[in-house]
């Protein structure tokens, strides 16, 4: 096994949202390393509510792509990526104490699934793959397509593939001074 | 400036939730590197809804600690850490298209704030600091304490400090086979 190494800050600064992929596959060994990175994420009371459906079947990918609005530029990404993860979270656990919601924020499943996915996307980048978070689609239709039960919430689609070309563009980021407040808001 | 380097997969696998800190400070340069890692996170339509209050004042930290239930083991962490971040998200932007909620999942601010915080905690670990996600507290009281306006949601507290001792324990994680489904759920 070839050991891929990337410095953390390089990974964080270099990752881009990638929507066009070469025809190259995502090998199972690399996919496993991504999922392994994901599962190391922390979570509410260590409940690890994430559930992931790995989709490689072209028919299923096309059907999932059809759950995106025409206006979503990631539609082609879902259709053409060799692998699409359907990232889900079990309902009614994260954010709860003794089965009751513990904060005004309701279910924390989106928070925990995001921690998981952030690790996956960084790992994918370090291994030479591109990903893009796709949240703007019909979660209910997607759930029905792949048989996700009612007690599990579909959150996002994450296409994964080798980038067709290097990312040319960095989405501008807010300056630190712009979002950081000191002592008081 | 001493350049701290850590390989991505080492950072992801090595990070632990740390609740006890040495008396050492978090220097502004390191804090800046953590916040810089945070702001590189992707977000819904690149809205970057994160807002962060950096708290160093011991009185404010004690007051924030008092918003945690007695049963939360992180109470001492919030009180004793040299820096506590109050991580917030602007409401009504993430998860929206043209001002309307775009998915069944409502506001995606928790998702985006989690992506931001995951980068912050990995960066902190690479720089030799410990952190712990604190979500179980009274967000409304905390907001009032530090003057967070109604249109901004307090999500979590993130104490940051040098670990008092090396983490001895790894919270067990689910096996990949346990949360990964193939083609169908």
DSSP label of A44 = G
Closest-approach residue (CA) in chain B for A122: B8
Q: Quick check: B64 and B145 in contact, CB under 8 A?
A: yes
CA dist., res. A32 & res. A129, Å (int): 13
Q: What is the pLDDT of residue A5?
A: 80
Q: What is the pLDDT of residue A3?
A: 61
pLDDT tops 90 at residue B110? yes
Place of tokens 């809205």: B47
Scanning chain A, the segments in alpha helix (DSSP H) are 8-14, 28-39, 58-65, 75-80, 109-126, 139-146, 176-179
pLDDT tops 60 at residue B140? yes
Q: Is residue B125 part of a domain?
A: yes
The CATH code of the domain that includes B117 is 3.40.109.10
Q: What is the pLDDT of residue B1?
A: 45
Cβ-count burial A84-119 (b if 16+ within 10 Å, e if not): bbbbbbbeebbbbeeeeebbebebbbbbbbbbbbbb
Complex ipTM more than 0.85, yes or no: yes
Per-residue model confidence as pLDDT tens digits over B18-58: 999 998 999 999 999 999 999 999 999 999 999 999 999 99
The closest CB to that of A174, out of B48, B108, B185, belongs to B48
Q: Quick check: B47 and B113 in contact, CB under 8 A?
A: no
- Neighbour tally for B25: CB within 10 Å: 13
Closest CA relative to residue A171, chosen from A13, A20, A11: A13
User: Is the entire prediction scored with pTM above 0.95?
Assistant: yes
CB contact under 8 A, B174 and A11: no
Scanning A28-100, the segments in alpha helix (DSSP H) are 28-39, 58-65, 75-80
Average pLDDT over residues B57-65: 98
CA dist., res. A33 & res. A16, Å (int): 19
Q: Is residue A185 part of a domain?
A: no
Q: Give, for B109, the enclosing helix (H) or strand (E).
A: helix B109-126
CA dihedral (B85, B69, B135, B8) positive or negative: positive
The whole-chain average pLDDT of chain B stands at: 96
Closest CA relative to residue B112, chosen from A135, A126, A38, A95: A135
Q: Is residue A149 part of a domain?
A: yes
What the block records as the tokens of A14 is: 């270099």
Proportion of chain A above pLDDT 90, given as a percent: 94
Q: Which domain holds residue B125?
A: 40-163
Best residue in A31, A89, A154, A181 for a mutation probing chain B (most B CBs within 10 Å)? A181
Closest-approach residue (CA) in chain A for B179: A51
Q: Is residue B172 part of a domain?
A: no
pLDDT tops 60 at residue B99? yes
Distance from CA of A120 to the nearest CA of B (A): 10
For chain A, the domain total comes to 1
CB contact under 8 A, A118 and B114: yes
The closest CB to that of B135, out of A33, A44, A155, belongs to A44
CA dist., res. B111 & res. B118, Å (int): 11
Name every chain A residue with its beta carbon within 8 A of the beta carbon of B40.
12-13, 15, 173
Name every chain B residue with its beta carbon within 8 A of the beta carbon of A6.
7-8
Closest-approach residue (CA) in chain A for B87: A180
In a 13 Å sphere around the CA of A1, the CA atoms on its Cβ side amount to 10
Q: What is the pLDDT of residue B79?
A: 97
Q: Is residue B171 part of a domain?
A: no
B123 pLDDT tier (thresholds 50, 70, 90): very high
Q: Is residue B179 part of a domain?
A: no
Q: Tally C-beta pairs within 8 A across A and B.
A: 211
Q: Give, for B83, the enclosing helix (H) or strand (E).
A: strand B83-90
Q: Is residue B157 part of a domain?
A: yes
Q: Is residue A31 part of a domain?
A: yes
Which residue numbers in chain A have pLDDT < 50? 1
CA dist., res. A125 & res. A38, Å (int): 13
Q: What is the pLDDT of residue A1?
A: 45
Closest CA relative to residue A96, chosen from A88, A104, A107: A107
Closest CA relative to residue A91, chosen from A153, A157, A156: A153
Per-residue model confidence as pLDDT tens digits over B82-92: 999 999 999 99
Closest CA relative to residue A53, chosen from A105, A79, A88: A88
The closest CB to that of A181, out of B51, B126, B133, belongs to B51
CA dist., res. B109 & res. B47, Å (int): 10
């Amino acid at each position: 096994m070839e050991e891929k190494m990337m410095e953390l800050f390089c990974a964080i600064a270099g990752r881009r949202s990638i929507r066009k992929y070469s025809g190259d596959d995502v090998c199972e060994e690399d996919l496993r390393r991504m999922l392994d990175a994901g599962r190391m994420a922390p979570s509410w009371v260590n409940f690890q509510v994430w559930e992931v459906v790995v989709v490689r079947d072209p028919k299923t990918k096309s059907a999932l792509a059809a759950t995106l609005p025409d206006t979503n530029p990631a539609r082609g990404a879902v259709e053409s990526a060799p692998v699409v993860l359907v990232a889900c979270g079990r309902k009614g656990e994260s954010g709860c104490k003794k089965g009751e919601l513990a904060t005004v924020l309701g279910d924390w499943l989106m928070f925990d699934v995001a921690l998981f996915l952030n690790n996956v996307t960084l790992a994918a980048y370090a291994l030479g793959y591109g990903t893009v978070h796709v949240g703007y689609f019909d979660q209910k239709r997607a759930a029905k397509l792949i048989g996700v039960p009612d007690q599990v919430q579909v959150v996002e689609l994450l296409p994964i593939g080798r980038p067709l070309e290097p990312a040319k563009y960095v989405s501008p980021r807010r300056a630190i001074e712009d979002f950081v407040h000191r002592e008081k808001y």
